[in-house]
Amino acid sequence: MAMGSYVRNAWYVAGWSNELETAKPLAVSILDEPIVLFRGESGAVHALEDRCVHRLAPLSLGRCEGDHLRCMYHGLLFDTDGKVVEIPGQDLVPKDARVRSYPVVDRHSWLWVWMGDPAQADEALIPPAVGLDDPNYILGHGFLDYDAEARLINDNLLDFSHLTYVHANSFGAGPEFAQSLPKLEPLERGIRYTRWTTSTYGQSARKSDTPVDSHMTYDFLVPGVLLMTGGNYPEGTAAKLDFGRPAIADAIGGVTFTSQAVTPTAPRTSRYFFSWGPHVQHGDEKVRDALMGMADMAFGEDKVMIEAQQKVIDRTPNPRVMPTAHDKGVTIFNRLVERLAKEGGTAANQENTACP
């Protein structure tokens, strides 16, 4: 199965920055391409095709030497551009002996890899996630591996009406949540969701003893990054702002931030990265741990449902969906992905790059 339905000209989260130790190569897979990440002695992070030009051994079993990486099968040495600079037992190195090198950026605690044309790698396109070191938030983090295609996880995150059903026992949104539609705004590389709930005692993650107006908003950005915040505001705030965006400084409780990223690792597998926690003025480590406990339960519920959905899809010859009113965001986002996927050209040549 081709991964052609995904955007290539985008930054994909390859891992948590704190997972990548100096001089310990890490094998990852993005869009079904084998990639080795390594942090050289200089501290810089590099991303190469994880496949030696010689006999296709994985470079992730290799050894870091300075900022170079040596294949530990027969000893070929690669520089950070993927060029072979040494072949044991041989004086000359063919000038086209190289593996593919990927642009990679260490930002917001994530390692972002650009899967498209390196010449178009624009760091301005990296979504503004909140890193673990952000002084405004106290964040927990983790990741989950899915036996399901990334698109199904994206679809899940693009339709929160599932909170009422999938998460009946964790987030615990009531039936009224699934009955109402959020406000949607298309963005250049994504979509923005907003919900004001007025005169409420709050929800699972942000309860209140007195009635408040509760605000929740998230951007869902290409290739599959969710950035969500929200909080409780004095009753009447929603009307006063004409249901527009409030200033976080005006919140009276419950402000949190979650960054989530869905990375397609192969046609039928994905890795789902996430962080969540309270604003420093609205919680502490204890609140963070409570939120993460809730998230662990809820994300497990999603995984059970989505992996089961994938199995049904896989055994259905020509699977067709029947969109509902809640699928508006799903449809808008998937059309955007389709357009950007086409603009980004076809998938890169997946053959290895050994000289012919």
Residue 38: CB minimum distance to a copy of itself, A: 16
Sole binder of a copy of itself in the list 55, 183, 240, 245 (CB under 8 A):
55
For a copy of itself, the closer of residues 65 and 289 by Cβ is 65
Sole binder of a copy of itself in the list 252, 305, 334, 348 (CB under 8 A):
305
Q: Which residues of 267-285 are buried (b: 16+ CB within 10 A; e: fewer)?
A: ebbbbbbbbbbbbeebbee
Total interface residues for a copy of itself by CB under 8 A = 62
For a copy of itself, the closer of residues 155 and 219 by Cβ is 155
Smallest CA-to-CA distance from 172 within 207, 144, 218 is with 207
CA distance to 157, 160, 200, 307, per residue, from 311 (Å): 19, 22, 39, 6
For a copy of itself, the closer of residues 88 and 135 by Cβ is 88
Rule CB under 8 A: say whether 43 interacts with a copy of itself. Answer: no
Residue 47: what are its φ and ψ, rounded to 5°? -135, 115
Sole binder of a copy of itself in the list 43, 88, 119, 242 (CB under 8 A):
88
- Per DSSP (E only), the strands in the chain are 11-16, 26-30, 33-39, 45-49, 63-65, 68-70, 77-78, 84-86, 101-102, 104-107, 110-114, 140-146, 183-187, 190-203, 206-221, 225-234, 253-266, 269-278
Contact stretch for a copy of itself (CB under 8 A) within 135-143, 205-213, 216-224, 305-313: 305-313
Tell the residue number behind the tokens 């020509």, with chain if given. 318
Rule CB under 8 A: say whether 352 interacts with a copy of itself. Answer: yes
Rule CB under 8 A: say whether 61 interacts with a copy of itself. Answer: yes
For a copy of itself, the closer of residues 64 and 290 by Cβ is 64
For a copy of itself, the closer of residues 134 and 301 by Cβ is 301
For a copy of itself, the closer of residues 280 and 304 by Cβ is 304
CB 299 within 8 A of CB 305: no
Contact stretch for a copy of itself (CB under 8 A) within 127-135, 158-166, 241-249, 274-282: 158-166
Rule CB under 8 A: say whether 334 interacts with a copy of itself. Answer: no
CB 274 within 8 A of CB 260: yes
Residue 109: CB minimum distance to a copy of itself, A: 29
- Per DSSP (E only), the strands in 249-339 are 253-266, 269-278
Residues between 202 and 261 with contacts to a copy of itself, criterion CB under 8 A: none
For a copy of itself, the closer of residues 51 and 288 by Cβ is 51
Distance between CA atoms of 26 and 196, rounded to whole angstroms? 43
Contact stretch for a copy of itself (CB under 8 A) within 172-180, 200-208, 224-232, 338-346: 172-180
Distance between CA atoms of 197 and 250, rounded to whole angstroms? 16
Smallest CA-to-CA distance from 37 within 19, 25, 49 is with 25
Distance between CA atoms of 229 and 205, rounded to whole angstroms? 11
Rule CB under 8 A: say whether 354 interacts with a copy of itself. Answer: yes
Distance between CA atoms of 181 and 194, rounded to whole angstroms? 10
For a copy of itself, the closer of residues 160 and 257 by Cβ is 160
The alpha carbons of the chain give a radius of gyration, in whole angstroms, of 22
Rule CB under 8 A: say whether 1 interacts with a copy of itself. Answer: no
One DSSP character per residue, 92-135 reads ---TT-B--EE-EEEETTEEEEE-S-GGG--GGGS--PPPTT-T
Rule CB under 8 A: say whether 324 interacts with a copy of itself. Answer: yes
Binding site for a copy of itself (CB under 8 A): 32, 34, 50-51, 53-58, 61, 70-76, 87-90, 94, 97, 155, 159, 161-162, 164-166, 168, 175, 178-181, 304-305, 308-309, 311-313, 315-326, 350-352, 354-356
